[in-house]
Amino acid sequence: MNEIRIQSEPFDPNIEVDILRAGNPAIGGVVSFIGLMRDINEGETVSTMTLEHYPGMTEKTLQAIVDEANQRWDLLGSRVVHRVGEMKPADPIVLVAVASTHRGEAFQACEFIIDFLKTRAPFWKKESTSEGSRWVDARHSDDDAEARWKL
């Protein structure tokens, strides 16, 4: 029902959503967010990206976020899949998919989970450009997005 996965292999977001909604006719809606790797960041072409994480803490943090979402809203299941290691432009990096009876709860829970994943889950992106490689800086707008939820 609530699956959390960290993996180096690519994944297919459509298959993940199909699995989430399979076999439960009570589900009235699924909202999903798919984060993709962009080929341009801060004006420079990015050829590949490598994602590092903190094994153990990552899973714990995501579990706590999903648990909190389930406390706040009536959900009928969720899936969070996040890639680590090397990836290329247009690859899905992350999927957050949430199922519920009606759309309102699914929309809110999905946004809540991705907002907290962005500011709390220990992942770090490193981009390779023609100028060499660089660690991606955190965005203030992500902190603002998290703050809206007032934990």
Partner 1 sequence: MIKVLFFASLRERLDEESLEMEAEGLADLGVVLMRLRERGGIWSEVFAADQTVMMALNQEMTGADAAVKDGDEVAFFPPVTGG
- Site size toward partner 1 (CB under 8 A) is 27
Confirm or reject binding of residue 46 to partner 1 (CB under 8 A).
Answer: no
Confirm or reject binding of residue 53 to partner 1 (CB under 8 A).
Answer: yes
Confirm or reject binding of residue 11 to partner 1 (CB under 8 A).
Answer: no
Dihedral sign computed on CA atoms, order 12, 78, 96, 48 = negative
Given 16, 20, 65, 125, the residue binding partner 1 (CB under 8 A): 125
Sheet strands (E) in the chain: 2-7, 29-36, 40-41, 44-53, 78-83, 85-87, 92-100, 123-129, 132-135
Confirm or reject binding of residue 60 to partner 1 (CB under 8 A).
Answer: yes
* Minimum gap (Å) between residue 28 Cβ and partner 1: 27
* Minimum gap (Å) between residue 58 Cβ and partner 1: 8
